[in-house]
Structure 1
Amino acid sequence: MSYKEHTLTDQVSEQNAPIGADPSGPEMFGHPQGLFYLFFAELWERFSFYGMRALLVLYMVNNLFESFTNRDEIAFGIYAAYGALVYATPVIGGMIADKFLGYRKSIMLGAVLMALGHFALAVEHPVFFYGSLALLIVGNGFFKPNISTLVGTLYKQGDKRRDAGFTIFYMGINIGAMLAPLVCGWLGVNYGWHYGFGAAGVGMLLGLIMFWQGSRSGVFGDRGLPPNPTAIKEKVAGITKEWWVNILSILSLPFLGLMLFNGTLTLPVFGETNFDGSLIDYVMYYALLPIIAIILIMNLIKVDKIERERLIVVILLTFFITVFWSFFEQAGSSLTLFAERNVNLTFMNAAQTNSINPFFIVLFALPFSAMWLFFSRMKMNPFTPVKFALGIAQLGLGFLVFAWSANFADADGRVSIWFLILGYMLITTGELFISPVGLSKVTELSPKKIVAFIMGIWFLSSSFAHHIAGIIAKLTSVSGGEGEAASGMDSLLVYTGVFEQIAYVAFGFAVLALLLTPLMRKWSHGIH
């Protein structure tokens, strides 16, 4: 993990911390004690998220839309809409935390909404299906950006443990992500889909309890409290601002549910042209993106030269992470169906293959953390843009392995599971070059007053990536007439053909990141 060697300004948001205070507080294993409460809270939240995600496309294709001739496209459309929205709401959640609720109240609100959403998904009814996804979208918006930002507040300016701490936190994410498909996938396939969804709800409840216990024990100190405790108690139309946040969150659910329901609805975008888009296209590209762009431009104007150039670096890194996730997020859609239809699954089912990536994260996270520390001491640590380029290139190699597997298929169009494992391993090492580094750099490079908002934009990149991933996944749709899938060899050629194209495009973006490295290094102003 990269480290800053010459920090010019404090880039970490430390809400309500006394001037000169050490944010670390009590320590455990050389890190702030609060890190480990956040580690387990995030572990169980990710258990719930990835447990549900492992089942979602398979549930829609094999159950909810089983009789539809275009079931793959419908499932990919809803999955992409859900993924786009679940990573779009953190922008709003980050802004609300910065200005009103603070990190802690936002995290608690998000955890409660997500717990309700997971348990609602266990009820077999279309209203509950779309309503539960809407609850998860809103809850994630409050939870996701603020728990990551709260991790950043635990480390004081210039603390070289920061990147290692984020890697440990990232390992917690992936322990939950690894266990979830194994448990929820086993329950869903063997006992019924909604048992798997219910298990995800239990995981979210455990995450809620863990975070509440950490707040109650005082390990976070004064971090994450409302920036202005009296302001959130002010009343508007007889209701406090804090409660208005809760009310508006609930009122947004029907609108989000409608967007998910119309995930594959096409509407004319450019008059009489043939380019169509769904309802979510309009919201993302004609409402959300312009608003975010305006706010970013306003902040670029307000800040000084050093902060402005660092913020531009964050924007460039966000662009490259969007590219990475656009390809990576085939894992929950086309790669899951590829595993079900074209891989000899000898010791796990298709849903459980979603545990391969987090397994390698857990296996490699601490060695990678130690490796960055070693390179830092040796003054050989690559700059962040170089790590991004190497990460994207490794993802490209992973998809090239998936494509290459077609040369070793059996007569039924199935390939060895070891191709799937090797490809996932390469994608995972690429992820470790990018994602935890990116989380750390966002908190470090962003202007102090808007760090949670910028963290929200970082997660917004995943929103657009999920939308793009859905477009890519639809290229692999192989449903035949009367809902039957195409033959094994036909589907294999479709999947591997798309995977090969992904590989070559990824290599191109890796080269672009390398070319931009000198400029991004200059504009980082001493932050490695």
Structure 2
Amino acid sequence: MTTAEATPPVDLDPIRDKSDRAFLGHPKGLGFLSFVEGCERFSYYSMQTLLVLYMVKYLLLPEKIGNVVGLQALQNGWYGGMQGQPLASALFGDYTALVYLTPILGGIIADRWLGRRATLIAGSIVMALGHFLMAFEGAFLFALLSLVVGVGLFKGNIATQVGELYGPKDLRRATAFQLFYIAIQVSVIAAPLVSGTLGEKLGWHYGFGCAGIVMVAGLVLYLYARPWLPEDNRPAKGTAAPREKLQRSEVPRLIVLLCLIPVLAVALLVNQEIFNAYLVWADEKFQLTFAGYTVPTSWMVTLDATTSFTLLVAVTAFWKWYSARTGREPDELGKMIIGSVFTVAGALCLVIAAATGGDGKIGLFWPVMFHILNSIGFGHTLPVSLALFTKVAPKAMAGTVVGLYYLAFFASNKIVGTVGGWYSTMDTVQFWLLHVGAATVGLVAFVILKFSLGKLLADPGAI
């Protein structure tokens, strides 16, 4: 008999009012957490949208690079003398990779010492500092470091709180994370339109400063929302509250989650490239002038976010309708397989665009088709995989496991940083065929995991 079997049944969420459906049929806390995450993602995607263009078109120019403290030493050392677009791609890849590595540390800090609330607040403050430091060219590397640390403290700990709003058998969990991702997509739509336009048209530092202001607004909202959020996991001062312990029966599911991380990393490659070499390609080759006005290249991110938002809503509504009509729907891995099929199809659109563009400007038909198909893939993969990790994660290390989830983004962005640097020297058709191959590998791997290990992820409440 396991420990769980020996314990009398209890309410797994005694602090929450089960009748709380104030936010679209979900707890009010989900609404607050979604808006807070939206502010954080606005600030992050403002940075991510502007970063490569800022470096390629301004900061890494020969007359500017010497103004950045420590950058030339890093360029000649770690980056082996890279210059221009390859250096920008490599810096972007390392920054975005580290952003998704530090949530592991943030989860450990929250689980063992500070609790999720204090850790998240600290992350918000450090992130805001990083955005404001971007106003000073010399502090560029210090700004990136602040953002890496801040996101690490923030990221996993807000997603964990979303999961804690629901019991392990609450079927609303997956839908909750899709709603959570909808808030993110709204932010990704707004970030290029606001910060991207400010940065490209008015001045780079205006775009970065706007990101910092919105991050501060998110922190204020989080502090206000405390009464509607899950209880913190930090023991009260002066008490010796017992901590959850990892159960032996939880280990196999934990191993399956670890197996999913490298698969997700490969499957994410196409999506993550949007913020790297894709933007450089769009800036050089896409037809972005309409009626005499050239729209900012960063608006391609808004296009992606708009389609992602619209189709994520559509995907969520479709599966709700399908479930109501048939009484069943695919499990998490099943949806991720469906998503990968669309991702492969989307990447093929980029191959067609590159093959048919020739030496002239590329029309937006095939890029738009890419964003549509890739967004359907996104809606079946990203929120669903995060819901799966929060569902299966052992309570003893929930924050840490969500931090481990972001290792997939760490690995994917590190790969993007390397692969994106090949854009300048590699045939463009072959460059995007490489991404088609990565998406195909992810699809095949999800299928194998589904039929070999999928049953281990079923009904974690039965542990």
The question of 1:49 aligning with 2:44 is answered yes
Distance in 1 of aligned mates of 2:351 and 2:172: 39
**Which position in structure 2 is the counterpart of 1:453?**
400
Distance in 1 of aligned mates of 2:12 and 2:168: 14
Which of 347, 367, 381 in structure 2 is aligned with 1:399? Answer: 347
Which of 288, 292, 303 in structure 2 is aligned with 1:356? Answer: 303
Deviation (angstroms), 1:174: 1.0
Which of 414, 423, 426 in structure 1 is aligned with 2:373? Answer: 426
Q: 1:411 to 1:498 in 2, by over 3 A?
A: closer
**Structure 1 length as normaliser, TM-score?**
0.76
**Which position in structure 1 is the counterpart of 2:128?**
115
Which of 403, 422, 427 in structure 2 is aligned with 1:494? Answer: 427
The question of 1:27 aligning with 2:40 is answered no
The question of 1:219 aligning with 2:234 is answered no
Distance in 2 of aligned mates of 1:180 and 1:202: 12
Q: 1:114·1:204 contact (CA, 8 Å) conserved in 2?
A: yes
The correspondence of residues 191-230 of structure 1 with structure 2, limited to 5 A, is 191-215=202-226, 218-220=227-229, 223-230=231-238
Q: 1:195 to 1:24 in 2, by over 3 A?
A: farther
1:60-98 C-alpha deviation (Å, 9 max, x unpaired): 011111239830111011111101111111000001111
Deviation (angstroms), 1:228: 4.5
Q: 1:187·1:195 contact (CA, 8 Å) conserved in 2?
A: yes
Which of 334, 342, 347 in structure 1 is aligned with 2:277? Answer: 334
Which of 197, 200, 209 in structure 2 is aligned with 1:189? Answer: 200
Which of 157, 160, 172 in structure 2 is aligned with 1:149? Answer: 160
**Which position in structure 1 is the counterpart of 2:440?**
507
1:124-148 C-alpha deviation (Å, 9 max, x unpaired): x22x111111111111011100000
Which of 127, 145, 151 in structure 2 is aligned with 1:134? Answer: 145
Distance in 2 of aligned mates of 1:352 and 1:142: 29
Q: 1:22·1:156 contact (CA, 8 Å) conserved in 2?
A: no
The question of 1:303 aligning with 2:314 is answered no
Deviation (angstroms), 1:373: 2.4
Identify which range, 44-53 or 342-351, moves more after superposition. Answer: 342-351
Distance in 2 of aligned mates of 1:116 and 1:430: 34
Consecutive aligned runs of 4 or more in structure 1 exceeding 6 Å deviation:
none
Distance in 2 of aligned mates of 1:477 and 1:225: 48
Question: Quick one: which amino acid aligns to residue 93 of structure 2?
Answer: A
Q: 1:24·1:154 contact (CA, 8 Å) conserved in 2?
A: no
**Which position in structure 2 is the counterpart of 1:40?**
35
The correspondence of residues 367-386 of structure 1 with structure 2, limited to 5 A, is 367-377=314-324, 378-386=326-334
3-state SS, counterpart of residue 205 of structure 1? helix
Distance in 2 of aligned mates of 1:231 and 1:470: 47
The question of 1:61 aligning with 2:61 is answered no
Identify which range, 455-464 or 513-522, moves more after superposition. Answer: 513-522
3-state SS, counterpart of residue 416 of structure 1? coil
1:330-380 C-alpha deviation (Å, 9 max, x unpaired): 111100001001111136321221122221222122222222223334244
Question: Quick one: which amino acid aligns to residue 438 of structure 1?
Answer: S
Instruction: Identify unmatched segments of 5+ residues in structure 1.
Output: 1-7, 11-16, 233-298, 479-492
Q: Percent of aligned positions with the same letter in both sequences?
A: 29
Q: 1:39 to 1:9 in 2, by over 3 A?
A: farther
Distance in 2 of aligned mates of 1:70 and 1:157: 50
Please tell me the root mean square deviation across aligned C-alpha atoms, in Å: 2.4
Q: How many residue pairs end up in the alignment? A: 426
Instruction: Identify unmatched segments of 5+ residues in structure 2.
Output: 6-10, 66-81
Q: 1:25 to 1:66 in 2, by over 3 A?
A: farther
Question: Quick one: which amino acid aligns to residue 392 of structure 2?
Answer: L
